[in-house]
Amino acid sequence: MVRKEHHLIKHLIQLQDLIAARAQQQAAHPKQKLVDLDKNIKIMSNELSPELKSHFTRLIQKSVEALAPITGDNCSGCGFALTKTMVNNINGGAIEMSRCPNCTRILYAPDVPLTRNTPRRRWGDPIKRGIERFTAPELMLHKLKGSTDEEVLMELCENMRNEGYVKDCADLHEAAMRREAIISTAVGGAMAFPHIRGVEGGGLTLSVGISKKGIDFGGPTKTKIFFYMVIPTAASAFYLKLLADLTQSFATAASREPLLKAKSQADLWEALIKGTRKMVK
């Protein structure tokens, strides 16, 4: 049975996505005016009850994620272990909205959990620093084959799957396309930051892809550089800083040139490491 509360959860998730999209745009373009997003956010916020609106606003001011899907018996936002009764109520569609006892996020059961693998760190592996904490040489695609936004995003996701970083591409790809439908993640400098938030398992993972000819991705010019991120709920606030750091690292044509001229996976990896050394700590 579909309960009334489910519709409210969907409303809150859509509102949260709009607010997250605004935060992403602001991180990439601090001075950009976001009139349409602000208007839609205001309309959706005003449809909430005063009490819920107040609680939601307080949560969103602390983190991009005011809502968190449950992961097994835990809140995916803070990892707090929930009681069996609470988990059963959430999974069963209880009338009362559930909040995490620890972080107070609004909890819900995802229709289709988005998951990724967690590559194990081997004993003796060097400690990773900077951008290396979030990516790896095998996640560099120096010559994307796709000619459309959908083809490029699937290509990046499939590479993550083939390298063992995600389990399946279908649901993740659908989530990435839904995110692009809100507002394009393309920014100036022929760059774009497509991503999927709220993925269970592991940490934030970044893949970089280069389209030599560029594709139409909703930006001011054709997009050639793609920073594709898979983001767990717990890292949702941090990825905004990473997005801002990447934007600043490659803000000039000269800084982007080594990425665009990469002739191999190794070249692209080296260009990414050098280009982010000052900004990404």
What was the pLDDT predicted at 111? 72
* Overall pTM > 0.95: no
What was the pLDDT predicted at 211? 97
Reply yes or no on whether the pLDDT at 122 is more than 60.
no
Reply yes or no on whether the pLDDT at 149 is more than 90.
yes
Instruction: Say what percent of the chain tops pLDDT 90.
Output: 62
Total length of the chain? 281
Chain centroid to CA 51 = 29
Could you tell me the domains of the chain?
4-108 (1.10.287.1490), 130-276 (3.40.930.10)
Out of 78-92, 180-194, 233-247, pick the least confident: 233-247
Reply yes or no on whether the pLDDT at 270 is more than 80.
yes
- The model's pLDDT over 47-66, given as tens digits with 9 standing for 90+, comes to 999 999 999 999 999 888 89
Q: How many CB atoms lie within 10 A of CB 266?
A: 12
Out of 1-5, 26-30, 59-63, pick the least confident: 1-5
DSSP 213-268: EEE--SSSS-EEEEEEEEE-GGGHHHHHHHHHHHHHHT-SHHHHHHHHT--SHHHH
Mean pLDDT score of the chain, rounded to an integer?
88
DSSP 139-178: GEESS----SHHHHHHHHHHHHHHTTSBS-SHHHHHHHHH
Residue, of 1 and 78, whose pLDDT is higher = 78
What was the pLDDT predicted at 4? 47
Instruction: Compute the half-sphere exposure of residue 279: CA atoms within 13 Å on the CB side of its CA.
Output: 17
Reply yes or no on whether the pLDDT at 9 is more than 60.
yes
- Quick check: 45 and 99 in contact, CB under 8 A? no
Reply yes or no on whether the pLDDT at 276 is more than 60.
yes
pLDDT band at 150 (very low <50, low <70, confident <90, very high): very high
Out of 1-5, 59-63, 125-129, 181-185, pick the least confident: 1-5
Q: How many CB atoms lie within 10 A of CB 33?
A: 9
Out of 103-107, 154-158, 237-241, pick the least confident: 237-241
Cα-based distances in Å from 98 to 82, 229, 279? 11, 29, 39
